[in-house]
């Protein structure tokens, strides 16, 4: 039997709590929410979203879970930051 992790994603239209499986990473049968899931695990879900395979289980809306990575470089102990850029 294959291992996976689950991410609970609320549909923006009907508020249904969907559970989507990801095989990214260690796959320890953990259940995450959008707020606490590793970003790379969420990005793995979005690969299915781009292929129209993330559907709400209640209203059947096609969902996408978009992840934007940010990179910040700063001097340790300094409160000023260089310009942010998306990756």
Q: What is the per-residue pLDDT for 86?
A: 54
Overall number of domains in the chain:
1
Express as a percent the part of the chain with pLDDT over 90: 31
DSSP 82: P
Does 87 score more than 60 pLDDT?
no
7 in Cβ contact with 36 (< 8 Å): no
User: What is the chain's alpha carbon radius of gyration, rounded to the nearest angstrom?
Assistant: 16
Between CA 43 and CA 12 the distance in angstroms is 18
Those residues whose C-beta lies under 8 Å from the C-beta of residue 13, and which sit 6 or more positions away, are 56, 59, 61
Owning domain of residue 82: 5-86
For the chain, the average pLDDT equals 82
The pLDDT tens digits for 25-65 are 787 888 999 899 888 888 888 777 667 778 999 999 999 88
41 in Cβ contact with 55 (< 8 Å): no
Which pair of structure tokens corresponds to residue 68?
């934007």
């Amino acid at each position: 039997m294959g291992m996976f992790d689950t991410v609970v994603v609320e549909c923006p239209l009907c508020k249904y709590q969907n559970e989507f499986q990801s095989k990214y990473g260690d796959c320890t049968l953990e259940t995450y929410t959008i707020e606490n899931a590793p970003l790379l695990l969420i990005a793995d879900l979005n690969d299915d979203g781009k292929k129209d395979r993330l559907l709400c289980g209640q209203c059947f809306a096609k969902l996408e879970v978009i992840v934007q990575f940010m990179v910040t470089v700063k001097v340790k102990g300094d409160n000023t930051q260089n310009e942010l850029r998306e990756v």
